[in-house]
Amino acid sequence: MARSNDEVAALFQEYADLILITGGDPFKARAYEKAARAIGGHHAEVRDLDLKGLQKIPGVGKSIAEKVLEYFRGGSVSAVEEVRAKIPAGVRQLTMIPTLGPRKAMTLYEELHISSIDELVDAIHQERLRDLKGFGPRTEEKILHGIGLMQAAGDRVLVDVAMDLAEELVSELSHVRGCLRCVYAGSLRRLRETIGDIDILVAARDSEPVMRAFTSLPQITEVTAHGDTKTSVRTTRGLAVDLRVLPPDAWGAGLLYFTGSRAHNIRIREIAVHQGLRLSEYGLFDVDSGDLIVSETEEDVYSRLGLPWIPPALREDRGEVEAGLRGELPELVTEEDIRGDLHTHTDLTDGLAPLEEMVAAAEQRGYSYFAVTDHAPNLYMQRMTEERMLEQRRQLHELDRRHRGRGGSGRMRLLHGTELNIDPDGELDWPDDVLAGFDLCVASVHSHFNQDRAALTRRLVRACENPYVNVIGHPTTRVIGKRPGLDADLDAVFAACARTGTALEINSHPDRLDLGDEAILRARRYGVKFVVNSDAHSALHLAHLRFGVGTAQRGWLTSEDVINTWPYARLRRFLRKGRAERSAA
């Protein structure tokens, strides 16, 4: 079932947006945004907490805690309903357009009486927005692009949402009598960043008990199609799910077929045809005799076609078949290869958990090293100062000594880092003498996304060229379905990273997954190194790393390409970058 935390987090994020739309107090809006993040990242179900328990969550005071209780008592919050009533539903829909924002949506409604996306598109084509302050031809282009992003997303959801539901369903169905195997397939198994629907496969000799159990699950709201081998449903989370029951001896062929992608399957079937064979979800057959050749495992099917088993993340017809025929498939990086996380936050800035809690959670994950990289002072709302930073460093070094003293050199090492803000001109927060004291520096763009292409490119390249910058964080700044990536010359940035020894981050947060897989494929041609980070703002967020690893796999990366799979000593050598040369100078 969906976590109650996610329901409340979504409600409070909407409330924050509504406050801004109506011209309310921005500090109040920020308080509810922070509470939404804190509740979403809290380890315990908020549905089960009382007033005092809720107030122990960082950023949740008495007023917010009371609204949580009100929501679970009656299914709504009066303060939220009051603000909703002030704003037409169409205006709320406008706020969902990437690049538009709540204030501009309200301006469009008040000045031009626009209250739907269709009306907005018509107004742009009639050039009616250009008389409004803050709007112009470039703004119109960005709004149209944002509408395109939203429409392209359609009913698709982020990979973590689909994964949570799929794993619940697989767990439930695996316990049904007669179910011999159960997995999810389709685009989710290929770890695409957004998922349109979920495919669940079951191996069973009798499909009826499995179908009956499936349609009775509490997550199912509607059965849209029902048959002996396939049942389609809608779920409480709005996602469509197809359940297919396969004969046990056809498992491998069925899993390959329903994993896809369509383009990959076409290539595999072409190879089969050239060998006088026919491939379907039931097996690989001889065309002339109709005899079944192989079907029980994916490995069997691939092998009979002269191919090694191809990892699902590669099955997009992007050269994986040719690489397999040549025996040149990469040994993809795995989550087990990751030795540490190099981009995380604590409650010193915008994180939700104290330093000790984050370190303990990292240790539970079995990491060899772990970096804390709270924000630097140019993001003024984080209220970072040099004094606070140095106190955190002292605490971190003390924890590091404690860890080493308790378990010797094999214990987790702690690194003190920072996430710097790359200013519009490519400058960074701290001066060089301060940067020199950090173990690593992640530099990221957090504002001024609308600079022209040349300025954005120079900005990122300048950051790469700084001898203290080790990693470019979430390099394109995209937020999937909400904000497009920067319009920068990424090839120039990739070349600069390769030249300067700066790693590119694969940010594992499901709404970022930045760099995306296609950009990774481009960047790796330059010889760039990568780092898969969680960008965790709570202990729960550390688990997002699995999605970053999946994106790295889709980009064909090996452990050699990813610096946080390396032993600690090798990582430290990489992090020195140009610092030794700077010190000598």
Rounded Cα gap, residues 189 and 335, in angstroms: 15
Predicted pLDDT at 374? 96
Count CB atoms within 10 A of the CB of residue 356: 11
Higher pLDDT, 6 or 299: 299
Predicted pLDDT at 110? 81
Rounded Cα gap, residues 387 and 392, in angstroms: 9
Mean pLDDT (whole number) for 500-524: 97
Determine the residue type at 208. E
Mean pLDDT (whole number) for 403-419: 79
- Looking at the fold, whether 445 and 570 belong to one and the same domain comes out as yes
- Looking at the fold, whether 216 and 351 belong to one and the same domain comes out as no
Predicted pLDDT at 151? 67
Rounded Cα gap, residues 417 and 410, in angstroms: 21
Count CB atoms within 10 A of the CB of residue 180: 12
Mean pLDDT (whole number) for 299-322: 97
Residue in 439, 438, 419, 414 with CA at minimum distance from that of residue 429:
419
Count CB atoms within 10 A of the CB of residue 249: 14
Question: Residue 474, Cα to own-chain centre: how many angstroms?
Answer: 11
Q: What is the CATH number of the domain that holds 318?
A: 3.30.210.10
How would residue 585 be classed by pLDDT, with cut points 50, 70 and 90? very low
Question: Residue 460, Cα to own-chain centre: how many angstroms?
Answer: 22
Give the pLDDT confidence of 324-349 residue by residue, as tens digits. 999 999 999 999 999 999 999 999 99
Count CB atoms within 10 A of the CB of residue 404: 15
* pLDDT of 95 above 90: no
Range of the domain at 298: 251-326
Percent over 70 (pLDDT), the chain:
95
Q: What is the CATH number of the domain that holds 50?
A: 1.10.150.110
- Looking at the fold, whether 210 and 135 belong to one and the same domain comes out as no
Predicted pLDDT at 448? 92
- Looking at the fold, whether 318 and 339 belong to one and the same domain comes out as no
- Looking at the fold, whether 436 and 304 belong to one and the same domain comes out as no
- Looking at the fold, whether 239 and 296 belong to one and the same domain comes out as no
Give the pLDDT confidence of 137-164 residue by residue, as tens digits. 878 887 887 787 666 666 688 999 999 9
- Looking at the fold, whether 463 and 542 belong to one and the same domain comes out as yes
Give the pLDDT confidence of 16-72 residue by residue, as tens digits. 888 887 778 888 988 898 888 888 878 788 888 999 999 988 889 999 999 999 999
**Strand bridging mode 340-341 / 283-286:** unpaired
Percent of the chain as helix, strand, coil, to the nearest 5: 50, 15, 35
Q: Model's pTM, two decimal places? A: 0.83
Determine the residue type at 285. F
- Looking at the fold, whether 50 and 195 belong to one and the same domain comes out as no
**Strand runs labelled E in 159-282:** 181-184, 194-195, 197-203, 220-226, 230-235, 240-246, 277-280
Q: Which residues have a Cβ under 8 Å from the Cβ of 171 and sit 6 or more positions away? A: none
- Looking at the fold, whether 545 and 557 belong to one and the same domain comes out as yes
